[in-house]
Structure formats: C-alpha cells, structure tokens
Amino acid sequence: MKTIHERLDAILPKIKDPSFRQNRGLGNEIGYHIFDYEPQYEMLVRDHIAYLKDQINNDPSSSQRITEFDLYEMVLEILDEKGYLEKNFVMEEKKGSQYVLNATRKALRLTLNNDQIIRYMAERIEPHDIVFITGIGKVFPIIRSHVVLNNLHHAVGQVPVVLFFPGRYDGQELVLFNEIKDDNYYRAFQLVSD
C-alpha cells in the first residue's frame, strides 16, 4: 500500500502525461478522476494542490492550466453575490440549521437546469484546463459530491476533472470521511491507486 506522500507525488506525472487528456470514461466522455485520501491528510492535500497549481500554471512550456474550484468558497461567493449570506446567518439564529440548509440548496438551485454551482464552473473553464474540485468535506451536507459529478459533464465538455475526496472511493461507492455513504458513482477512475 502506498503512503499518502507516494500517492501525492504520483499526481504530477499523471496529469502531465498527454494520455491523461485522452482518457475516456465509460460513455466515451472525457474521464473523471477521483483522488481519495484519509480525511486526516486534508491539510497535506491542500498544500499539495497549491504545489501542483504552481508547477503547471507557472510552467511556460505547459499548454495546460489547473483551475481549482473549492465548492465551499463557491457557495459563499454565490450567496454573497445574491445578498443571501448575511440573511442566512440571521435565519439560522431564528429558524435553525436545517431550515438554512434547505434554503441554501434552493438558492443554489442544485440539480436543476440552472444549477448555480455548475454554471459558476462552466463560466470559468477554458478548453486547455484541468479542473480540480476541492472543498467536498467543507461544503457537506449542502452539496454532495456525486451530485456535482453527475451534473458537471454537460458543462465541462472535454476538460478532465479531478475530484479531491476526503474519504474512500472504490470505483463504485463514495464514502465521505470514511463514514458517510455519499452515493454510488461509476463513471470516475481513481487518479492514483493505493
């Protein structure tokens, strides 16, 4: 079994390999990848993502760019732009967390045709990008990872996607924090195996 450091070190050569962009999913769409990791390594993974972005985005010979989408930060930005963020704090004091959770999901229009998270990403993705999705643990339970993956394919086109997942992915099942079964998801490859 590989250590977390060995697995993190394997990411850069993997995404630099020209075949990474050609990797096809089960439906012949561009491949989605999941880098799963033990939740206690969250800060190590965040630091490594910053390193990867620096290595790819500041390499003048690279035609690729990593675009990171932290789901938690996106939710805060979208709610703030709509003028809902401060209202959510007040509403939570008066009506409780579950009420705010439901109201936030409605405001983000999750799983609808005008899903605000998917739209946010689609407006910022370029054809040469590699999309990194982070913040899954921070944004739970507002957004579930399988919902993003299921709805993202029509927005990103032929751009490869890597979801950084604090938990386990066995090729079929996502288990957040190694405890909460997210849902089955069959269309992603493990970016780096154990």
Handedness of CA 74, 154, 158, 24 (dihedral sign): positive
What's the whole-model pTM score? 0.92
Residue 11 contacts residue 35 (beta carbons within 8 Å): yes
pLDDT in tens, 33-47: 999 999 999 999 999
**pLDDT of amino acid 104:** 92
pLDDT in tens, 86-142: 888 898 899 999 998 898 998 899 877 789 999 999 999 998 999 999 999 999 999
- Where along the chain do its domains lie? 4-190
Residue appearing with tokens 């012949």: 28
